[in-house]
Chains A and B, each alone.
Chain A
Amino acid sequence: MIEVRNLTKRYRGGTAVDDLSFTVEPGRVTGFLGPNGAGKSTTIRLILGLDRPTSGDATVNGRPYASLPRPLTAVGALLEAGDLHPSRSVREHLRWLARSNGIGERRIGEVLEATGMTEAGRKRARALSLGMKQRLGVAAALLGDPGVLILDEPVNGLDPEGVVWIRNLMKRLAAEGRTVLVSSHLMAEMALTAEHLVVIGRGRLLADVPMEAFLASHRGASLEEAFMRLTSESVEFRAGGSR
């Protein structure tokens, strides 16, 4: 379970996350939706303790991320898939992550197999396609067999086969009782995957609803239209309110 309470992050240039509160429950895929620049990635970085909040807090399984003793065994995260050392091999990348959290060597082979990367284990990161980097990122997230998964734009760069693969993987992980938070700026993708939606715009919470309720309340409109309407209203409101 992930709990975000009154989370705010201000930078010198403005506010990225603005008094945001929501809860991500286990056992279902929660879509974290918003236009580019809405604050999704910043929120995820705050949950993972990579950035310090200006105020408010975020907990995973009731604890701040930074206080988890072996965090990779509790939370698996996929951030920028391209964040790899170009000359380090796939297997060595997973190996340092495993060592850092006392995860056994056997698990590396397992996650490589689970992500279809067994053949690529000896490849250096610079030789990987974007799709393969995404798969490696998913492998890294699964390394500690965590109960909570946070995936930031996981379908980016995947071919259609990869998109279907990751969609089914997320559903399976949720069905196993795990907490799955997946961010995207693509409403259509979310509609096929998520059972619950958290929508933000300009760092503020716009909706925290089950997918079915969201669809019902926007009857007649397509998903993309409903999403656009929701987020554009927020943008206009914010622009008007701040001047």
Chain B
Amino acid sequence: MSAFGAAAAAEWVKVRSVRSTAVTLTVFAVVALGMGWLIGSTMEPGADLDDPLTAAFMGLLVAQLLLVTFAVACVGSEYATGTIKASLAAVPSRGRLYAAKMSAVGATVALVVLPVELAVFAIVQGLAGDAAVSWTEWATIESLLGGWISLMLLCVFAAAITVVTRSTVWTLAILLPVLFLSGQGLGNVDAIRPVVQYFPDQVGHVIMHMTIPGDPRFGRDYGAWTGVAILVLWTAAALAGGWLAMRRRDA
């Protein structure tokens, strides 16, 4: 096995061998499915939430807090417990260790989110009746695909930030209010929207059908895939920051 493959295999053992992984990811699935069902069953034809994709992603966006918690804990626990020393002794190439850890977090999130996302959407579709949309229409596929990518990127972003802060608590204290408040509409406040709409948790909203470009209240100045591209940039910046911290600091 390649050196990177070995390091990634080790990271995968770390991820699956702690109880918090199973707990946070199970609660994520339960919250996403439950919220999807709740929101889907209150949908009314012609109302704001007549798009099943919007309803499905509202549930997923509430549940994403648990995904972010998982991603942050994967990194933060290494520093809190001191296992980072053993990790660096086992994989002294810091770039390799960092790449392996980010890959393990991203891959785990991607593997968990895809079936949950499809299941939430299936539930909402079932409740939508006449408002159900075609599964095979590009708009549907595009949204599900983009939402999946966005949730995965946001988790890698959070994990990379944690490499800089080296603390689960501090990272969550910064990220969770941002994620909560934006969900409650901070991104839609006119005075700050021109800036806040570019925040990492906001840029996925177009492709997740939470808003449409041009909407006077919730609109964004960019399109669906441009939003995903902006999130790619955020993630790349966080990864670069994490790499600098990883490379420079003593363990």
* A contact residues vs B (CB 8 Å cutoff): 45, 48-52, 65-69, 71-72, 75, 77, 79-80, 82-89, 92-93, 95-97, 99-102, 140
| Binding stretch for chain A, among B2-10, B64-72, B200-208, B232-240 | B2-10
Interface assignment of B86: CB less than 8 Å from any CB of chain A: yes
Do the beta carbons of A85 and B92 come within 8 Å of each other?
no
Do the beta carbons of A88 and B17 come within 8 Å of each other?
yes
A–B complex contacts, Cβ < 8 Å, 7 sampled: A50-B250, A68-B92, A88-B14, A92-B17, A96-B11, A99-B9, A100-B6
**Closest CB of chain A to B52's CB: distance in Å?**
38
* Binary contact track B1-36/A, C-beta < 8 Å → 1, others 0: 101001101111110011110000000000000000
Do the beta carbons of B89 and A101 come within 8 Å of each other?
no
Do the beta carbons of A79 and B86 come within 8 Å of each other?
yes
**Closest CB of chain B to A91's CB: distance in Å?**
9
Do the beta carbons of A71 and B20 come within 8 Å of each other?
no
Other than A84-B83, A100-B91, give 10 A-B pairs with Cβ distance below 8 A. Answer: A45-B251, A49-B92, A75-B89, A80-B85, A85-B77, A88-B17, A92-B17, A96-B11, A97-B90, A100-B10
Closest chain B residue to A77, Cβ basis: B89
**Closest CB of chain A to B163's CB: distance in Å?**
16
Do the beta carbons of B81 and A85 come within 8 Å of each other?
yes
Tell me the bound Cα distance from A175 to B91 in angstroms: 29
Residues of B within 8 A of A99 (CB): 6, 9-10, 12-13
Tell me the bound Cα distance from A49 to B89 in angstroms: 7
Tell me the bound Cα distance from A51 to B3 in angstroms: 22
Closest chain B residue to A65, Cβ basis: B92
Residues of A within 8 A of B7 (CB): 100
Do the beta carbons of A95 and B13 come within 8 Å of each other?
yes
Tell me the bound Cα distance from A68 to B91 in angstroms: 10
Tell which of B1, B6, B20, B77 has the most Cβ of chain A within 10 Å.
Answer: B6
The answer to whether A66 and B82 touch (CB under 8 A), given A85-B18, A102-B1, is: no
Residues of A within 8 A of B42 (CB): none
Do the beta carbons of B10 and A52 come within 8 Å of each other?
no
